[in-house]
Structure 1
Amino acid sequence: MLSEDKFDASLDLLRRLSPRHVAENLSAVCSLLQHENETEGEELAQDLLSAVDKPLEVVRCAGSGKSFLCCDYNRDGDSYRSPYSNQYYPATGDEDSPFPSPALRKLEIKANESFDIYRDLYYEGAGLSSVYLWDTAEDDTNSIQEGFAGVVLFKKETEDKMGRWNSVHVFEVEPELALLAVYKLTTSVILDLLNSSLALNSLSLAGTMTRQTEITQSLSTEGESLEWAHLTNLGQLVEKSESNIRNLLQDVYFDKLKDIMLKDLRTLGDVSEKKAEELKQLELINGLQGL
C-alpha cells in the first residue's frame, strides 16, 4: 500500500473511532505504522500528529515553575518548548531544535501575557493558555514586518472533571502594505462532556469542530508599536472565532440533541423515562456553560 493510501486509511479509521479516546487511538495507529516500516512509519506518524486534533497536554516548566500547554507546534521529538523559559522539556540536547527569532520571541512573551488576561476574563479565571510563534520569512531578522505564524491554546476543565474544553487557534500573518495585513485563522475546538449523575445511565458528548477565517486588517500604530497592533487584531479575531463556535455548539448541536431526545425518542418510553432524558440533556448543557 502506498504511503498516501496508508495516511488516508489512518485518518478514516480515526474519524470512525470514539473522539473521547482520540489521543490513545492516535498513539496506537502511529505505533502500528512504525512497527510495519520504521522509516516510512515515522514520517506518516509525524503527518498524522500534525493533521489530527487531540486534547492538549500539560507540562510543568522547571525554569519558571509554571504549567504550559503542549501541541504539535511546540514539539520537537518527545520534548515540548515552554513559552516562559523558551527551553524544551525534557531537554533535547539538539542545537537544531526550532526556536523563534529574537524579535519574534519578544512578541511571543507579550502574546502570552495578553492571552493570559483573555483567559482570565473569558474562562472565569480557570484553565491554562499558551501562545507559540514561529518565523515564516526566509530572513528572520525582520520577521514581524515580513510576516509570521503562531498558535493560541486554551484548556479548561470543570471542577468535577466531567467537562473539558480545548481550543487551538492556528494563525498566519501576511503583510500586504506597511499598515495592512492578512490574518488567516483556523480554529479547532475539542469538547468532551459526560453526564455526572450517578442516578442516570451514562451519557456523553464528545467531538471536534473546526472553522477557518481570513480577514484583512489595518495596523493602527497610533501611540502603540507594531507588535501591539498585531496582538490587538489577533485577540479580536480569536475572540470572534471562539464566540461563533460556542454559539454553534449551543444553538445548533445542543438544540438538535434536544429535538432527538425529547421529540424523536419520547414515544419509546414512559413519562419517567422522558424526565430522565430531559435531565441528561440539561446536565450536558450545564456542563458546556460551566466551561
Structure 2
Amino acid sequence: MTEQQLDCALDLMRRLPPQQIEKNLSDLIDLGGVSSVYLWDLDHGFAGVILIKKAGDGSKKIKGCWDSIHVVEVQEKSSGRTAHYKLTSTVMLWLQTNKTGSGTMNLGGSLTRQMEKDETVSDSSPHIANIGRLVEDMENKIRSTLNEIYFGKTKDIVNGLRSIDAIPDNIKFRQLQRELSQVLTQRQIYLQPEN
C-alpha cells in the first residue's frame, strides 16, 4: 500500500463511526487471508489484539498456514502528541510439501518477538496508522527471520541427510577423508617438540 493510499484510507476512516474502527484496522492490515481486531480501554490508553490467518491453497504441492497474533498496548503521553507502543507478536507456521523427488516433509513452529517504540500522534499519523506500521514491520521481520534462520537451517539439515552422489562416490570420498586425517595427524605428531 502506497503512502498516498494509506493517507486516503485513514482520512476516510476518521469520518466513520467509532464501532467501525476495528473492522477498518482489520481491512487495513489484512494482506490476504482472514483477520480480526479487538480493542479495549486501559487507564492511560488502550490495548488491542490483531489476529491474522493465512492459509496456502495447496498449489505447487505446498500446503501451509500462517497464524499471527499481535498484542499492542498504547500508553498516551501527557502531552497528547506522542504515545508509547508496546507490541508482542507471535507467529505460528505450518508447512507441508509433497514433491515426487523428495517426498513429504512437514515443518512447523512458532516465533515470538517484542518491540517498544514511541511515535508521534497527529492527524496525519493517528494511532491506527502507527499500529499498522508496527504490525507490518514486525511481520516482515519475523518472516525474514523464519526464512533466513529456520528455513535455511532446515535446508542445511535436509541436504546433510540426503545424498545426491552415487554410493560408490560417497565411499571413495569417505576413504579419502580418512587418509587425509591420518596424514594430518602424523604430520602434527612430527611437528610437536618432545619434552
TM over 0.5: yes
Mapped partners of 1:196, 1:206: distance in 2:
15
> Which residue matches 1:133?
39
Runs of 4+ in 1 over 6 A off after TM superposition: none
Q: Does 1:245 align with 2:147?
A: no
The question of whether the paired residues in 1 share the 8 Å contact of 2:28 and 2:132 is answered with no
Mapped partners of 1:252, 1:237: distance in 2:
22
1:109-148 aligned at under 5 Å gives the runs: 109-119=20-30, 123=31, 126-137=32-43, 146-148=44-46
Q: Could you tell me how far 1:136 is from its partner in structure 2?
A: 1.6
> Which residue matches 1:17?
none
Q: Does 1:192 align with 2:192?
A: no
Q: Could you tell me how far 1:253 is from its partner in structure 2?
A: 1.1
Mapped partners of 1:107, 1:186: distance in 2:
25
Q: Relative to structure 1, is the Cα distance of residues 151 and 108 closer, same or farther in structure 2, using a 3 angstrom cutoff?
A: farther
The question of whether the paired residues in 2 share the 8 Å contact of 1:115 and 1:235 is answered with no
Q: Relative to structure 1, is the Cα distance of residues 259 and 210 closer, same or farther in structure 2, using a 3 angstrom cutoff?
A: same
1:74-153 aligned at under 5 Å gives the runs: 107=18, 109-119=20-30, 123=31, 126-137=32-43, 146-153=44-51
Q: TM-score, normalised by structure 2?
A: 0.68
> Which residue matches 1:100?
none
Q: Relative to structure 1, is the Cα distance of residues 132 and 159 closer, same or farther in structure 2, using a 3 angstrom cutoff?
A: same
- The structure number with the bigger radius of gyration is 2
Mapped partners of 2:37, 2:19: distance in 1:
7
> Which residue matches 1:281?
none
Amino acid at match of 1:151: V
The question of whether the paired residues in 1 share the 8 Å contact of 2:22 and 2:39 is answered with no
The question of whether the paired residues in 2 share the 8 Å contact of 1:108 and 1:133 is answered with no
Mapped partners of 1:164, 1:117: distance in 2:
21
The question of whether the paired residues in 2 share the 8 Å contact of 1:108 and 1:132 is answered with no
Q: Relative to structure 1, is the Cα distance of residues 109 and 216 closer, same or farther in structure 2, using a 3 angstrom cutoff?
A: same
Amino acid at match of 1:159: D
Mapped partners of 2:92, 2:126: distance in 1:
29
After superposition, the CA RMSD in angstroms is: 2.3
1:70-126 C-alpha deviation (Å, 9 max, x unpaired): xxxxxxxxxxxxxxxxxxxxxxxxxxxxxxxxxxxx54622321331331xxx3xx3
Mapped partners of 2:92, 2:51: distance in 1:
11
The question of whether the paired residues in 1 share the 8 Å contact of 2:34 and 2:54 is answered with yes
Q: Relative to structure 1, is the Cα distance of residues 181 and 117 closer, same or farther in structure 2, using a 3 angstrom cutoff?
A: closer
Mapped partners of 2:121, 2:38: distance in 1:
21
Higher share in strand: 2
Mapped partners of 2:102, 2:73: distance in 1:
46
Q: Relative to structure 1, is the Cα distance of residues 196 and 272 closer, same or farther in structure 2, using a 3 angstrom cutoff?
A: farther
Structure 1 residue matching 2:99: 3-state secondary structure: coil
1:1-291 aligned at under 5 Å gives the runs: 107=18, 109-119=20-30, 123=31, 126-137=32-43, 146-160=44-58, 162-177=63-78, 178-197=80-99, 200-221=102-123, 229-262=126-159, 264-266=160-162, 269-271=163-165
Structure 2 residue matching 1:195: 3-state secondary structure: strand
Structure 1 residue matching 2:123: 3-state secondary structure: coil
The question of whether the paired residues in 1 share the 8 Å contact of 2:25 and 2:37 is answered with no
Q: TM-score, normalised by structure 1?
A: 0.47
Amino acid at match of 2:165: V
Amino acid at match of 2:161: L
> Which residue matches 1:8?
none
